[in-house]
Amino acid sequence: DAGVIQSPRHEVTEMGQEVTLRCKPISGHDYLFWYRQTMMRGLELLIYFNNNVPIDDSGMPEDRFSAKMPNASFSTLKIQPSEPRDSAVYFCASSFAQGVVGYTFGSGTRLTVV
Amino acid sequence: GENVEQHPSTLSVQEGDSAVIKCTYSDSASNYFPWYKQELGKRPQLIIDIRSNVGEKKDQRIAVTLNKTAKHFSLHITETQPEDSAVYFCAGGGSTLGRLYFGRGTQLTVWP
């Protein structure tokens, strides 16, 4: 298995632009998580899905952030409009069970908003 | 919800020495405790985990211990090497908790 695949690896965008991050979980994994990592806040859980259904989005910072999972093999995290404070590394992770096995993380997307 | 606290936030040791990172958790429903290693610019990777029916687990130079009564668990790295330098995250979870809860991380630096 190729693991959790994220794209793009790096994204530089101007403030106000729309940004879309993509994730392909490991086949057979029913849970998908989006995390944001910064020096100040560490690893923050933004949202997670089970069987393509959003379960907990309480970590989504504001309405500018949205996430979808149209099928079991694809998810997107969208920021519209982007702001400089959104600059961070965004990780996608997947798991085949909830809370009783570890997550497998993707390589992350480093987002820079200028 | 669960609250996982991790200490210290930074740790520096000389090559060959041991390193210990400690975590506490608040919810007695937690029964699964993984540890992740994140090298600079890389993804967090699972290095070892322990379940609540086990008190200790070893894998070569790393070991984890769990004290359910005190609600704390620790990562022990012996004979540290420069390549052990990374950020280490602990986490707690369980089937009733809905997800894993991560600590804030410990930056371990091993000096040659």
pLDDT tens string B24-63:
999 998 999 999 999 999 999 999 999 988 899 999 999 9
Confirm or reject contact between B23 and chain A (CB < 8 A). Answer: no
* A19 neighbors A111 (Cβ within 8 angstroms): yes
* B47 neighbors B62 (Cβ within 8 angstroms): yes
Terminal alpha carbon distance of chain B:
41
* A104 neighbors A1 (Cβ within 8 angstroms): no
Q: Is residue A73 very low, low, confident or very high in pLDDT (cuts 50, 70, 90)?
A: very high
Cβ distance of B100 and A102 shorter than 8 Å = yes
The beta strand positions in chain A, using DSSP E, are 5-7, 10-13, 19-24, 31-38, 42-50, 53-56, 65-71, 74-79, 88-95, 104-105, 109-113
Cβ distance of A33 and B34 shorter than 8 Å = no
Higher local confidence (pLDDT), A43 or B98: A43
Other C-beta atoms closer than 10 Å to the C-beta of A92 total: 29
Q: Is residue A41 very low, low, confident or very high in pLDDT (cuts 50, 70, 90)?
A: confident
Mean pLDDT of chain A: 94
* B22 neighbors B74 (Cβ within 8 angstroms): yes
